[in-house]
Chains A and B, each alone.
Chain A
Amino acid sequence: MVIARKVDTDRLPSTVARPAARLGLSYIWVAYIAFGLAAIAGMVQGMVRGGIMELPSWTNYYQILTAHGVLMALIFTTFFIVGFLLTGVARTTGGSLHKTALGWGWAGWILMVVGTLMAVVTILMNEASVLYTFYAPLKASPFFYIGAALLVVGSWFAGFAVFASYRKWKKENPGKISPLFVFMSVTTFVMWIIATLPVAVEVIFQLIPWSLGISPTINIMLSRTLFWFFGHPLVYFWLMPAYIAWYVCVPRIIGGHVFSDSLSRLAFILLLLFSIPVGFHHQLMEPGISAGWKMIHVTLTLIVVIPSLMTAFSMFAIFETTGRKKGGIGLFGWLKKLPWTDVRFFAPFVGMLFFIPGGAGGIINASNQINAVVHNTIWVTGHFHITVGAAVALTFFGVSFWLIPVLTGRTLTRTANRMGMVQTVFWAVGMFLMSFAMHTMGLSGAPRRTDYTTYMDHPTALGWMDYQRVMAFGGGLLFVAAILLILILVYLTFYAPKGYTEYPIGETEKEQQVPRLLERWPVWIGLVAFLIVMAYGYPIMEQIHHQAPGSPPFKTW
């Protein structure tokens, strides 16, 4: 046991040095450019599916759907996460990034931007309408896959920047426990790099040679298994940075303290362990995987309930203790003492509320045979719009409202704060209406990823039409919120008054004991490897030894 470092924030520079700030801002603005384009695509999609508009002949629903999915789920999230974590690591390790970290950071940025451009151009040319899951044997242009590979490798470089800063901090502070923000960032990137290895294998060894015509057929089952090996941890890669903001930044914003240093770290270690060996719960309705192996993955998936409950407890413990310290009395009096008019708190808080039904829906999705009720229905779309599209996105917006001023040396003015509140409300209401309609329709069987259709006026399909219009209306509100957000962020980047803005990093109230074990990476990475081999070793071996006859490529759009 060692004593956790109690950070004295007054003596540390609470802004981020220019070179690191410039790097962070470059990541964050690529994220928001992608977000803006994706929002246009999303709005158009909602209108088309709602039967409100028809597309001109030079484009089609699936091209726009691919653009929306790739730009939102892969580009916006990854760029924002790297920008947020790199600046936070700079902030908590002395205020700057050293040369090695900056080098990795910029190399990663260049690779990721080149990869993004390749993917976007192939999508615009209608050479890659394969959606962001790019399931073979639908075959996109090889450049789409190469772009995806560059994006992944670039994100590893960003991870190396985090690791390099961590190593430097460790060298300068021997025997000390790392700052919580740094620990969580390292955990996130360890998880990310392990999880993206299989999709890199899929893209580099299966999809690229096959799309170039070098290998005539592809092992479909293996490609899907490798994809979902990555596809589920991907959602934790979105979620963990949001948790960092909840665990570390939000307590400081509301004037409270980190609830428990070690429990926060333990929650992240559990997420690292149980987010990867679980991919079959995305493949429950598939042939070629036995019911027993599916059940093993389902069990491992559901264990994530534990760190989620720990997070929920920590958050409300922070809110209650802070509210009571500010004079809140009675059972719920502390609620009134929280800073409801501060968008830096309000936006992530609304995100947390969305995460409650989001988590419950996730349990339904992962529950083996119950999945048959909702699999590939628009319920699933509704589910990830309230998790990543609301819980995570609102947290990222809330972070942006202070992070961009920190990085540009400007301030979040009262008007900008108020506009942020309006933006949050529009986004929340839009997302509520849209995802409510999607969940309801999904339960009555409406499929996801499908252009407007009445299935020859079949009564079952006609029953979905009213909900589709509600969904489109929600999408319209979301688009308004997206425009408003971009305007606020442009203002904060270029026009807001110069001044000091705090990078909020919470600390524990008293010095806390942190078990050393939590920072023994070989132990945790070894355990991850063990769980992966247990969960995937035999099934993947079987999929290679007893594979179905391979599939040639198809372009069906």
Chain B
Amino acid sequence: MHLHRFEKIWLMLGAGGLALFILLLCVNAFAMGMAPPSNMEMIDPKKVAETPPFDKPGLKQVGDKEYDAYMTAFAFGFSPTKMEVPVGSTVNFHVTSPDVIHGFQIPGTNVNFMVMPGHINSATYTFDKPGEYLIICNEYCGAGHQVMATTIIVK
């Protein structure tokens, strides 16, 4: 099969760039610990309300300026409805759903993951700037999807 010389150069540059890019993604994900949210924990979606810690959704301080936020996402809201942390806090969000699939996104941050019934998903974020951060559902979940939101206040 004949390859034009320019095409060879073009494809070699493309393939080389691609290989480098994939390598960087791997370094990022596995050496620097920035893999996408991939929590493997499971939970019975019919028993979320009685399974600790999701029976009492809320913030739990686990260290100096570090919190675990156990939350539920349901049609059409989040629980707890009110959260407040001091500036500089690191929050580990753990979220599950008792009904359909939802999304969990904090616009302006890299916190963005799927919330699936039967599974718990997690992400961590350090809030360095004060403000009232919007938390929204970004996966269609029904007639009230557009009102499904809450906030986390960073003071």
Contacts and interface: CB of A to CB of B under 8 A. Distances in A.
Nearest to B123: A372
A376 B21 contact: no
7 contacts: A221-B116, A262-B2, A286-B113, A373-B110, A460-B134, A513-B1, A556-B144
B149 A455 contact: yes
B25 A550 contact: no
A557 B112 CA distance: 24
Contacts of B108: 444-445, 460
Contacts of B117: 137, 220, 548, 551
A255 to B, nearest CB: 21
Interface stretch (A21-29, A168-176, A287-295, A336-344): A287-295
Given A286-B121, A368-B36, 4 more contacts: A62-B143, A302-B21, A461-B134, A547-B118
B118 A368 contact: no
B36 to A, nearest CB: 5
B62 interface: no
B46 A291 contact: no
B143 A372 contact: no
A137 B144 CA distance: 16
Interface in A177-228: 220-221, 224
Nearest to A49: B146
- Among B4, B42, B122, B143, the one with the most A-chain Cβ atoms within 10 Å of its Cβ is B143
B138 interface: yes
A67 interface: no
B35 A368 contact: yes
A474 interface: no
A453 B10 CA distance: 46
Contacts of A512: 2
Contact of A557 (B45, B113, B139, B143): B143
A306 interface: yes
Interface of B: 1-4, 6-7, 10-11, 14-15, 18, 21-22, 25-26, 28-30, 34-46, 75-76, 99-101, 103, 105-108, 110-114, 116-122, 132, 134, 136-147, 149, 151
**9 tightest Cβ-Cβ pairs between the two chains A and B:** A445-B107, A556-B142, A548-B118, A291-B35, A447-B138, A453-B146, A287-B121, A287-B119, A451-B146
Nearest to B143: A557
Nearest to A374: B112
Interface string A484-518: 00000000000000000000000000001101000
Contact of B29 (A288, A291, A458, A460): A291
B14 A135 contact: no
- Among A221, A295, A363, the one with the most B-chain Cβ atoms within 10 Å of its Cβ is A295
A317 B4 contact: yes
Contacts of A266: 1
A440 interface: no
A260 interface: yes
A375 B78 CA distance: 20
B107 A310 contact: no
A317 B5 CA distance: 12
A450 B76 CA distance: 13
A551 B114 CA distance: 16
Interface string A534-557: 000000000000111111101011
B1 A371 contact: no
Contacts of B134: 445, 455, 458, 460-461
A240 B116 CA distance: 33
B75 A551 contact: no
A465 interface: no
Nearest to B103: A376
Contact of B11 (A287, A309, A375, A453): A309
A449 to B, nearest CB: 4
B140 A131 contact: yes
A286 B139 contact: no
Contacts of B111: 372
Given A263-B3, A445-B107, A556-B142, A138 B100 contact: yes
A23 B61 CA distance: 68
A446 interface: yes
A12 B29 CA distance: 56
A554 B149 CA distance: 20
B107 A460 contact: yes
A221 B36 contact: no
A294 B22 contact: no
Contacts of A456: 149
Contacts of A313: 6-7, 10-11
